[in-house]
Structure 1
Amino acid sequence: MKQLIKRELHALWHDPWQLALVSYIPLVGIFGLWWLFSAGLPRQLPVAIVDQDQSQISRMLVRQLTASSVITPIHYQDINSAKASMEKAETYAMVVLPFQLNRDLLTGHQPSIDIRYNSQYLLVGKLLSSQIQLSLADGLKSKALIKQLAAGVPMAQAEVNLNLVKTQISALYNANSNYVVFLLPPVLIALGQLLAMLVFANSLNRELRLSTLQEWFSLGTRRVLWAKILVYTPLIVLQGRLILTLLYQYLGLPLAGEFGQLLLAQIVMLLAVWLLVLTIFFLLQDSARVVSFCTALFAPAFPFMGITFPTQDMPQLAQWWRLLMPSSHYIDTHVGVVSYGQSFATFIQQVVSYWGYLLLIPLIVFLARRVKRTTNPITVQPSSSEAS
């Protein structure tokens, strides 16, 4: 086994692309994503404003929107130009203050303020929708208070009328609504899984590229595979440890549980990734097709984690696809450890969810034997006349 590990390390050292995948490329990806999310919260997002009323109250509502750190109002003369700005991604939302807004409020009517946002930008759209509604509600509440006071309603009663039910929403595990806490960990997990797939696929494809499959089988299929696993698993786990260190020690993100469970969960996830890549490798037996198929399989890992979109609302095919990806199983452990400080018994129950990947082992054995039969050279025995 020691010679096989040396064989794998020698191949790694003489493969610049493989060496890059286990060294500086993950570092660039990790710190690049951290820099993108380092602001924590989107601020000063452009919002199209169409003020058809041009009244004192409409200008007051625009000032309310301007006071929000999330919103930067941009004025447009008509709805069509505001819509065009959203289509060009110059603005992310639109607010239309209707004609005679002030008169309708004073006469007891209920005017409609048109609020639209670009739902393609899922998180940005939701953030703007809530911030716009809160800002407009604060502005209209002051107007309603003045109207009730003018009608002779006592101040105390007027405040009760405006706040019949008070609500308070408190985020338990992300009190500041910080996008670093919310988005960066699953994005890095998805990136790490993709890099792990590429590393192992390249290690297997090298045997095809250099025509060393016959040497591989002569050395022992299982022994060579174990050597690859023993070389690359610690390297990828080290990358995962770097991600956890950056998130929960350097950045100081909240962590309710222990690192140990997360590291064990990463190892189990990697073993599941190795099984999937092995199955695809022995099935396709073509370097380009193996990488392409694996990339297509693992690329949607982030949306399938259920962090930004509820997976139970996905089509059935998408839910089956989600179950194929090890990161979808890992994220349950990650959230449980980080947010809830779950027990080790719960962790064991989550590890059991990987049982389906064990069904790939007999399939891999069958495919490897088939490849071995087609790879071994055919020895032709000489006939009796040729021997004489």
Structure 2
Amino acid sequence: MMRQFSEIVRWECYSLCRGRIPAILLFLTPLIFTLLFGMVYEQNTVRHIPAVIYDADQSSISRSLIKVYNDSDRIDICHYVYSSEAMEAALTKDEAQLALAIPKYFAKDINAGRQTQIALIVNSTNNLFANSALSATEEMNRTFCIAIAQKLMESYGANSVAAMEMVYPIKLGVRIINNPTTGYTLFMLPGLMLNGLQIALLITVAPLLAAFIRRQIYDESKYSSASILLAKALPYWLLGVIMYIISLIVMEHFWAVPIRGSWIDILLLGAAYNFAVIGILYLVSSLAADETQAVQLPLLYIMPGLLYSGLSFPIISMEGFGRWYANTMPLTYAADSLRDLLLAGYAPDLFGDVSTLLGMGIGCGTVAGILFTLRRRR
């Protein structure tokens, strides 16, 4: 039994290296995903949002407010206009994603102690621009308002410390843990690497059983279906785990993604993830009529995985079919736990996720083995 198993493993390793293309795909795809998407998210946050300014007041106070916007690295003032129509035209033509309108008598109302209002118009066609712009402008406006209120209180005779305490009696202390810059690189890159690994396994593993059934390479009386399935999967599983490790090291050195968790936990998760993906691909391959179909069918299932995995949109906010479909994805159980291990140093659901991934691999692999055996006997 072991002799036959090792014989198939050696042959599969030889075929993998001889073909070159499968080995290169499995080796390079997760690495390329890590490097390319790392470049996409290199800036970490959305910056340089184009803005248009309409200042109907033209006062020193309005210019001070505009300077606050101009000093921000999130906002790039690209146009100054002199009418609300021109401001709206800049937004309509997509020349700006953000518009700030300062009304006439802005400074006069402030100096008189009356409430005034500025208008902020955000183009939410692209939510990333909109969310970043709203976050940045809210902070800038709050800082500006506190400074103005402090000066008004000082003009009534209060000293600067007392004035600040009156206009800003409650200070909010914020401590952001694990991802202090709230950057996209740390948030997205681990999951994108796992998706690249999943795609690499799809391209290389999915055709294996379909090709074997068509060619009938090994004698059924000498080689059991279980030994064939395990032996053929082993080289791909090992190479997948190796590439998982290499990709994590690349993330750490090139994109400063921290690895705070235990390497044992990280490897356990990666090994279980590779095992689950291979089990699912085996199931599809055992059902497919040929190698082409074996590659095409999993695309319908795996490709939406990035959106359904909870990587970019939380599963707890999904309902009905969306949540059910997300729970069938290996990426769902690996992406969040890997991100937790890397950024926080621990993953509360690690062993539950690993158990689920192992269950997926065993369940799908068992069904694939039964179907594979039946098709061999035809």
Q: Could you state the TM-score of these two structures normalised by the residue count of structure 1?
A: 0.83
CA–CA distance in structure 1, aligned partners of residues 354 and 122 of structure 2: 43
CA–CA distance in structure 2, aligned partners of residues 7 and 262 of structure 1: 30
CA-to-aligned-CA distance 1:326-383 (integer Å, 9 cap, x gap)? 121113432442344338x96434322336524334432443244335xx3xxxxxxx
Shift of residue 225 of structure 1?
Answer: 1.4
Q: Secondary structure at the match of 1:215?
A: coil
Among 28, 36, 40, which residue is 2:40 paired with?
A: 36
Q: Secondary structure at the match of 1:354?
A: helix
- Does residue 247 of the first structure (1) align with residue 247 of the second (2)? no
CA–CA distance in structure 1, aligned partners of residues 209 and 33 of structure 2: 24
User: Where do residues 50-61 of structure 1 align in structure 2 (5 Å cutoff)?
Assistant: 50-61=54-65
Q: Gaps (5+ residues) in structure 2?
A: none
CA–CA distance in structure 2, aligned partners of residues 135 and 65 of structure 1: 7
Q: Which moved more, 1:274-283 or 1:290-299?
A: 290-299
| 2:140 match | 135
CA–CA distance in structure 2, aligned partners of residues 79 and 47 of structure 1: 10
Q: Which runs of 4+ in 1 moved over 4 A?
A: 249-252
CA-to-aligned-CA distance 1:160-213 (integer Å, 9 cap, x gap)? 1221211122211122333322222222122222222222114345447xx31x
| 1:275 match | 279
RMSD: 2.8
Contact 1:217 1:372 in 2 (8 A): no
Shift of residue 21 of structure 1?
Answer: 0.6
Shift of residue 216 of structure 1?
Answer: 5.0
Change (3 A) 1:55 1:298: farther
Identity value in percent: 19
Q: Secondary structure at the match of 1:80?
A: helix
Q: Which moved more, 1:134-143 or 1:312-321?
A: 134-143
- Does residue 84 of the first structure (1) align with residue 87 of the second (2)? no
Number of aligned pairs? 366
CA–CA distance in structure 2, aligned partners of residues 313 and 263 of structure 1: 29
| 1:45 match | 49
Contact 1:47 1:93 in 2 (8 A): yes
Among 236, 240, 246, which residue is 1:236 paired with?
A: 240
Q: Gaps (5+ residues) in structure 1?
A: 377-388
CA-to-aligned-CA distance 1:112-169 (integer Å, 9 cap, x gap)? 42242436343x4333221122122222332222223334444333211221211122
Shift of residue 58 of structure 1?
Answer: 2.6
Shift of residue 233 of structure 1?
Answer: 0.8
Contact 2:51 2:76 in 1 (8 A): yes
| 2:191 match | 186
Q: Secondary structure at the match of 2:179?
A: coil
Change (3 A) 1:47 1:17: farther
Contact 2:52 2:100 in 1 (8 A): yes
CA–CA distance in structure 1, aligned partners of residues 202 and 122 of structure 2: 41
| 1:227 match | 231
Q: Could you state the TM-score of these two structures normalised by the residue count of structure 2?
A: 0.85
Counterpart code for 1:240 = Y
Q: Secondary structure at the match of 2:206?
A: helix
Counterpart code for 1:147 = L
CA–CA distance in structure 1, aligned partners of residues 256 and 365 of structure 2: 40
- Does residue 372 of the first structure (1) align with residue 367 of the second (2)? no
CA–CA distance in structure 1, aligned partners of residues 144 and 130 of structure 2: 21
Shift of residue 14 of structure 1?
Answer: 4.0
Among 314, 321, 324, which residue is 1:317 paired with?
A: 321
